Amino acid sequence: MGKAVQLTTKVAPKGTFIGLMALLITIESLSGVVQGFLNPILPALGPVFDIDAPTINGIFLIANVSFAVLTPLISRLGDRFGYKRVLLASTVLVAAGVGLLSFVPSLIAIIAGVILITCVVGFIPLMMGILRLTRPDETRRGVSYLIGTLMIMVGIGGLVAGVLGAVDPLRGFWIGIPFAVAAIICALLLPDTPNPAKEPIAALPMISCLVGIILFMTGLSMAPDWGWGSWRTLVSIVLGAGLLAAWALMDSRPRDEVRRFTDLRMLKLRSIRSVSIATFFFGFASISYFGTNGLVLHSDRSSTGYGFDFSPMIIAVILAVTSLFSLFSSLSAGPIMNRISERVALVSSGLLLAGGFVVFLVAGNTLIGYFIGFSIFNLALGSYQSATRALSVEGVPVEETSSAAGINELALSVGIACGAAVIKMLSSMNVDAQGAITEQGIHLIWATLAVASVVAAVAGSRFPKRQFTRPIRQA
């Protein structure tokens, strides 16, 4: 990474930040809604298209791989061609995906639509680039608002999609239509920002990165079904890891004149490195658990020894209500970092997350105990997502903002995939005669994720006490 660049920025009128955030929040609402409606709607499409569970799982796999692949790609395109331009293009693609899902009732259209809507993964990195170029002193506060919006809209999106899809699952996608239209309008109204970097994108590192992600994520996701010792699993994971290692070597070379896909020399900064490691373990221990959470809430205690026998609608209501805790904690993360320290924000998030799983272990067999544990879980979820995303770009040159945020998003995606694979492995090792996960297996999952949460807290404790120099402001 070359010399750090200090951005010289004119102070904008007071109303500018409010107006900018109104536009960005509206666009991010689309991201929350489409991420919220996938989980309740996709499993319900089986009878509609006469497809089995493995096919539905395959669609989820395509979505997860697309999220991971598009993360560094869209982020890098933003640094190369301009944040507003790429954000507008991404928003249009997501809107096209919503249109396919809503109005073209075919399996091929569903798959294509799912791929298109995964372009939302670039929204946050691109918005962070816009914030750093236009309101650098407000980046932390802006990110807190964006993450809070994401958290609450995921819950609302899932709930409303469940209500609309109660009779016809395809109607559940309709909630995305008004948000898609509003997001395109707001993307057009965003202020123009200069292209932060003109450096061409190196093809070989890019191909190595993207193909490596596809192979590695596919291997991890399919390992529980193929078998961890299967040649397909081993080839996918080993070859994918090899390509990712090659990408890391190519893009971390010290010479400034080397063309790169993403400047990985930023990982030599202790702040970026500690945040990236913490983000991986946060993803491992949190978002990967949502599938198991639904299973626990839906299971019949009389046959499994755990669970509350809730219907999908009640589960959706619980997710929507507890997302309020994520909203609160995401809005609180910025003030905690500014008034206390960044390290405290990261460590407390990890300990909160671990605390949620400890409550599950101690009192998860009661409804009030599980609700308290899941509320603590959501407090940690909003806090770490806001803190890690804001800190992932501080200390790097402005022209690499989106790429730095993309690296953090990639760490999150890979962490989620690894966590889901471990949960699936633990589940497969602890099943009863009816094929359900045993109570011991559920407790083992909780304990494993609690340990991963503590590791995230330890990684966060390595964040330096003082990090970046704030941008110069001129009247």
pLDDT greater at residue 1 or residue 183 = 183
pLDDT in tens, 77-100: 988 888 999 999 999 999 999 999
Residue 177 to residue 30: CA distance in whole angstroms: 9
Q: What is the value of pTM for the model shown?
A: 0.86
DSSP-assigned letters across all residues of 382-449: HHHHHHHHHHTSTTS-GGGHHHHHHHHHHHHHHHHHHHHHHHHHHHHHSB-TTSPBPHHHHHHHHHHH
Superfamily of domain 266-465: MFS general substrate transporter like domains (1.20.1250.20)
pLDDT at 473: 39
Residue 361 above 70 pLDDT? yes
In the numeric block, which tokens belong to residue 386?
Answer: 């806001």
- Using alpha carbons, list the distances in angstroms from residue 43 to 48, 50, 52, 60, 217: 10, 12, 9, 9, 21
Highest mean pLDDT among 53-57, 105-109, 302-306: 105-109
**CATH 1.20.1250.20 is the classification of domain 12-192:** yes
pLDDT greater at residue 305 or residue 94 = 94
Question: Rounded to the nearest 5 degrees, what angle is found at the Cα of 404, between the Cα atoms of 402 and 407?
Answer: 110
pLDDT (average), residues 136-154: 90
**pLDDT class of 7 with cuts at 50, 70, 90:** very low
φ/ψ of 232, rounded to 5, equals: -65, -40
Look at 73-87, 169-183, 205-219, 396-410 and tell me which has the smallest mean pLDDT. Answer: 396-410
pLDDT in tens, 386-417: 999 999 888 788 878 888 888 998 899 889 88
Residue 448 to residue 128: CA distance in whole angstroms: 33
pLDDT at 4: 42
pLDDT greater at residue 105 or residue 443 = 443
pLDDT at 436: 78
How far does CA 248 lie from the centroid of its chain? 22
DSSP-assigned letters across all residues of 179-196: HHHHHHHHHHHSPP---S
Q: Which residues are bridge partners to 10 per DSSP?
A: 474
Q: Are 246 and 208 in contact (CB under 8 A)?
A: yes
Residue 39 to residue 51: CA distance in whole angstroms: 16
**pLDDT class of 3 with cuts at 50, 70, 90:** very low
Residue 131 above 70 pLDDT? yes
pLDDT (average), residues 173-190: 95
Return mean pLDDT, the chain: 87
pLDDT at 208: 95
Look at 33-47, 119-133, 259-273 and tell me which has the smallest mean pLDDT. Answer: 33-47
